[in-house]
Amino acid sequence: MRQRLGVKTCVFALVACVICLRPELTGQNAPSLQEQLKAQYKLVRMGADGNGLTVVDPGTVLDIQKGGLLGVAPQITIFCPAKFQDGDLKTPNGFCAAMVKQNSRFLQVGEKVYPTKIDVNLDKDKVSFQVVECDSCNGVQQPSFFKSEVVFQFAKGALRTTSVSQVEDTIGQVLAIDSGGDSQQGNGQGAQNQDSGQSGGGGAHGQQQGPPPEPQQIEKGQTPEQVKVALGNPEKIVNLGVKQIYVYKDLKVTFLNGKVSDVQ
């Protein structure tokens, strides 16, 4: 009798192990948060033709709800992400904004964009959205395809237990799905470079939205490269050997042995 009970116990234990090892029986086959978000927000597929960038397959059209997203020209390889946390959208840091100021502008509330990339980082409790202007949706005459990024930061340890609908509600506070825009086609004309704050030729590109980047400080001891990042290229350079002078429109920066020694 004891032998039979022992056999039954082993059989039950073996069945339990098989169940544990089968993902479909334990819920491990459920789609991840990133997969569910990509199903909700269709990513745009971009291409190029003789005129430049073009939309090959349009994605979900999103309406910008808050000012503070810094758009950069498509040829720029870096992003200056805004950060949304606890209902507040923080603009990109001033150093990054200064680096791209000649090829950037703040996207306006009401402008329409496509999602290009969605990334979920459960360990850091954040969801990152990269977007690109839907120029045809915005009705502009001068396509630019400026791109931007916003990071949705959740409380520590919260993202693993937050429902998909709650995550989508958070995203919707910055990027709301346009009710009638999913079928909008991208403009096939080439991307154009624009200086920060310039008009895109019409539509929603008329004005700069959001606060400007924080002013950069020039301090003694900085290198010429650091000054160029903050102020851009000088109008003139006076080279006197160990002494150099960068001449800008409103000031002069003097370097001694490759370090800032005076600003006038």
Structure-token pair, residue 226: 């650091």
Which pLDDT belongs to residue 209? 54
Q: How many CB atoms lie within 10 A of CB 68?
A: 22
pLDDT digits (tens, 9 = 90+) for 98-147: 988 899 999 999 999 999 999 999 999 999 999 999 999 998 888 899 99
Q: Domain residue spans in the chain?
A: 1-30, 33-205, 224-263
Average pLDDT for residues 191-196, to the nearest whole number? 40
**Which pLDDT band, with edges at 50, 70 and 90, does 3 fall under?**
low
Distance CA(104)–CA(219), nearest Å, equals 25
pLDDT digits (tens, 9 = 90+) for 23-65: 444 445 678 999 999 999 999 999 988 778 889 999 999 999 9
What is the crossing angle of helices 164-172 and 33-40, to 10°?
Answer: 50
